[in-house]
Structure 1
Amino acid sequence: MGQPLTAGTAITVGIIGCGAISAQYLASFRRLPNVRLTAVADLDPSRAQAVADSCDGVRAVTVDELLADPAVGLVVNLTIPAAHADIALQAIAAGKAVYGEKPLAAGTKEAREVLDAATAAGVALGCAPDTVLGTGIQTARKAIDDGLIGTPIAATAVMATPGHELWHPNPDFYYQPGGGPLLDMGPYYVTALVTLLGPVVSVTGTASHTRTKRTIGSGRRAGEVIPVEVDSHVTGTLTHAGGAVSTLMMSFDAVRTKSPNLEIHGERGSLVVPDPNRFDGDVELFALGATQWEVLPVSAGYLDAGRGFGIADLAATLPGTEPRAGGALAFHILDIMESMLESARTGVSVPVHSTAPRPAPVPLRDVSQQETA
C-alpha cells in the first residue's frame, strides 16, 4: 500500500461537457475524497440533467450559470477540442481554475492565450492526459531513474486502429481540425515519452490519409457518412533534449499491431511499457545479459487510478507549483505534435521552441487513504 496524498482542502468542481468521456471522470470523482462535483452543464441540457440525476447533490445548469457559480472552484472542460480554448478562457476570466481534456487547445496559438490568461489571473491550469500518473508509466519511469536500463538511447511508440467511428456514436470531431490520430491519441504517447525521457527539442513528421469519408458504425447515427478533413496516419521522430530519439506512429488507417505500445531502449536494458491510454499494466525489463523478460513489481504511481486523478493531484499541489498534469506540459506536448504536422507539410525537420521539465515523479500512493480539510 502506498503513502497517502498530502492532506489538503477539497476542491469543488463543475463539468462543462457531458459527453462519453464524462462517465469516466464521474467514476473517479466518487473515489476521490478531495474532489467534490457540484454542477454540470452541456449544450444539450438533457445530457447535463442525466448526469445530475446520477449524482447526489449535483445540479444541472447552463454554461453561464456554472461559470458564475461561486461554489465552483475548478472547471473541468470536457468539450470537443475546437471549444477547449474558448471555454478555458471563459472559466479563467471568471476566476476559476481549469482542468481540460486533451489537447490543451486546437492549436498552439490558442493554447498560448490560455496559458497567459491563467498566469495573469493566478489560477491553476491542468490538462489531460493524467494516465501518466498511474502505476504503469510511473513504475517505468522509476526503473529508468534508478538506472535499470542505463542511459536511454531510443524509444518507439505505436498506436494503430482503423478509426474511432467504429465505436463512437458521434465521431465527427476526430476527423476535423484539432482531431486526427496524432492530436487525439498522440497526447497519451507523447506525454508518456516526455515523462520518461524528458522534453523534446526537434521533430520530423510525415502524414497521409487513405479515405476522405468515414461511416459511423454505432448509435442512432449508424450508417451516416462523415467527411475526413485531417490526416489520419502520422509518423515521425522526436529528438529529446537528453539525446534519446523516439519513433512515433499514430494511425486511424491501420487495422491492428502486435508491437508494444511503448518500448524504451537503453545501453543496459530495454523496457516494455504498458498502454499509455491506461493507468496500469505490467512493465517488463530485459536487462543486458539476461535470458528473458522480467515483470517489474509496481513501485510508483497512483494505485487503481482513473481519469480525473490529475485533478486530485492538482488539488494537492502547493500554490505556485506547476501540477504534474499541468498546462505548461500540455502546451509542450501540443507544440511537439503541431511541429510534427508542420514537418509533414514542409518535408524538413522542425525545432520545438517550447519546453517543459519532466513532472515530479509520483511515489506509490493510495487515494483511499487521502484526507481532506
Structure 2
Amino acid sequence: MTPHRLGIVGLGVISAAYLETLAACSTLVVTAIADLDPDRAAAVARTLPAAHPMTVAELLASDDVDTVLNLTTPAAHVEIALGAINRGKPVYGEKPLAVTLSEGRSILAAATQAGVRVGSAPDTVLGTGIQTARAAIDDGLIGRPVAASAVMVTAGHELWHPHPDFYYREGGGPLFDMGPYYITALVHLLGPIRSVTGASSRPQDHRVIRTGPRAGESIPVSVDTHVTGVLEHVNGALSTITMSFDSTATVASPIEVHGTEGTLVVGDPNTFDGPTSLRRVNDVGFHLLDPLAGYVDGARGIGLLDQIRAPRRGIARANGELALHVLDVMESLQRAASQGRRVETSTDADRPDPVPLTPRSEWLAVQH
C-alpha cells in the first residue's frame, strides 16, 4: 500500500509531539518540511528519511504532498490553510482554526468549493479520558445531564516559553489558547452551544519573559487574560467556564458534569487519558471508571490520522465544522464579555461520533 504523504508547515514546540506520533505510523510518511527558519527546516528534515526542506510555497504546490499539517502560530493559520486548499490538498491544523470567525468561515467555504477536508486540533478529546466520560453520559450513568464546569487557572506562558508573544496577541490569551480543549470537550460531552454570557479582565498590561535568550524582556498584552462565562447547550444543559493566565493554580477539577442521577469528574482535556470518576446518587464517594472508549495511549496527531481514514468511515471527528463552532463560541464569549449581554452563536456542529475503545496498534494503522 502506498503511504499517505504529509507535508508539515511550522516547526515550533508542538511539532515534536506530532513527529513522534507520525514516526510510529508505518503507512504515513513525511515528505516535506517548511518553516520560517530554513535552517530549522533542514535540520528536522535530516531526521526524517523521506523529508525534503522546502519553502512554504514549494510545499503547498508539491505533488509529493497528499495532506498539509499546519503547525504555524494562529495568525498564520488562515493563510496556510487556504494555500493548501486552493491547491486541492486537505489540511489539518493546530488550534484554533483561525483567529476570527470570518477567517474560519473562509477556510470552510474554500474547502467545500474545492471538495477537500479540513481538520483541526484539539484531538486530545479523542483519547480514553473524555471518551470514557462521554460513554458514561451516553449510557445514562448520570441520568439527564443538567450542568458542567470547566476550569483552567495557571500562570502565564512567559514562565516557560522563550517566545510567548503570540499568547498575548489576538488569537491568544487563555480563551483562544486553552479554551479549545475545554469547549471542544464540552461539545463532545453535552453537544453544541446555542448562546453564551460572560465577563473578562486584563490585570496586567505587560508580561516579563522568564526563560531563554529574551529573559527579562517585557512584552505587551493586548488580550484579556481572565475569562469566565456561561454556555447554554442546545440540549438545555448549562456549562460554566473559567480560563485564566492570572494566578498560579487551582484545586478545581478540570471538568465536572452533573446529572440528575450522578456526577462525573473528568481529567484534563489537554491530555488524552485523564482519569474519569463517577459518583451516583446513593454512592458514598467517587469511584474511578475503567476506560470505556477512546483511542488508547493517544498522542498528538490522532485527529489527523482519523481524518485520513475518514473517507472510509464518514466525517472525521476533529473536523472543521466543529472547530468553527468552537471558534464561534469563543468569539461570542469575548463579545458577550465586552458588551455585557447574552450572545447567540451563529454556527452549529454535530456532536462527533464517539470513539470505540481502540488499541494503539489499530489507530496507528492508517489506511486511505
TM-score by length of 2: 0.97
Paired residue for 2:199? 206
Q: Percent identity?
A: 54
Offset of 1:71 from its aligned partner?
A: 1.1
2:243 equivalent to 1:225 = no
Offset of 1:319 from its aligned partner?
A: 6.2
Cα distance in structure 2, aligned partners of 1:174 and 1:50: 26
2:55 equivalent to 1:62 = yes
Paired residue for 2:319? 326
1:159 to 126, 129, 152: 152
Aligned to 1:264, the other structure's residue is in SS state: strand
Cα distance in structure 2, aligned partners of 1:9 and 1:203: 46
Offset of 1:162 from its aligned partner?
A: 1.1
Cα distance in structure 1, aligned partners of 2:17 and 2:43: 15
Paired residue for 2:184? 191
Distance 1:197 1:116, change over 3 A: same
2:127 equivalent to 1:134 = yes
Aligned to 1:318, the other structure's residue is in SS state: helix
**Which amino acid letter does the alignment assign opposite residue 45 of structure 2?**
A
**Which amino acid letter does the alignment assign opposite residue 291 of structure 2?**
V
**Which amino acid letter does the alignment assign opposite residue 60 of structure 1?**
P
Paired residue for 1:247? 240
Paired residue for 2:112? 119
Offset of 1:9 from its aligned partner?
A: 6.8
Distance 1:84 1:320, change over 3 A: farther
Cα distance in structure 2, aligned partners of 1:264 and 1:94: 43
Cα distance in structure 1, aligned partners of 2:335 and 2:366: 46
- What is the CA RMSD across the aligned residues, in angstroms? 1.3
Aligned to 2:310, the other structure's residue is in SS state: coil
Find runs of 4+ consecutive structure 1 residues off by over 6 angstroms: none
Aligned to 2:293, the other structure's residue is in SS state: coil
Per-residue CA deviations over 1:139-166 (Å, capped at 9, x if unaligned) read 1100000000010010000001110110
1:181 touches 1:251 (CA, 8 Å); kept in 2? Answer: yes
Cα distance in structure 1, aligned partners of 2:291 and 2:89: 36
Aligned to 2:311, the other structure's residue is in SS state: coil
Q: Which runs of 5+ in 2 are unaligned?
A: none
Cα distance in structure 2, aligned partners of 1:130 and 1:237: 24
2:28 to 35, 46, 56: 35
Aligned to 1:104, the other structure's residue is in SS state: coil
Cα distance in structure 2, aligned partners of 1:230 and 1:302: 35
1:338 to 328, 331, 334: 331
Paired residue for 1:47? 40
Q: Which runs of 5+ in 1 are unaligned?
A: 1-7
Structure with the larger RCO, 1 or 2 (CA within 8 Å, 6+ apart): 1
1:10 touches 1:315 (CA, 8 Å); kept in 2? Answer: no
1:31 touches 1:368 (CA, 8 Å); kept in 2? Answer: no
Offset of 1:339 from its aligned partner?
A: 0.1
- Once the two structures are overlaid, the 10-residue window that deviates more, 43-52 or 286-295, is 43-52
Cα distance in structure 1, aligned partners of 2:366 and 2:299: 19
Aligned to 1:317, the other structure's residue is in SS state: helix
Per-residue CA deviations over 1:45-89 (Å, capped at 9, x if unaligned) read 112122112222211111111011111011111111011001100
Paired residue for 1:361? 354
**Which amino acid letter does the alignment assign opposite residue 98 of structure 1?**
V
Distance 1:49 1:259, change over 3 A: same
1:33 touches 1:372 (CA, 8 Å); kept in 2? Answer: no
Aligned to 1:253, the other structure's residue is in SS state: coil
2:8 equivalent to 1:25 = no
Paired residue for 1:5? none
1:12 touches 1:72 (CA, 8 Å); kept in 2? Answer: yes
- Once the two structures are overlaid, the 10-residue window that deviates more, 313-322 or 232-241, is 313-322
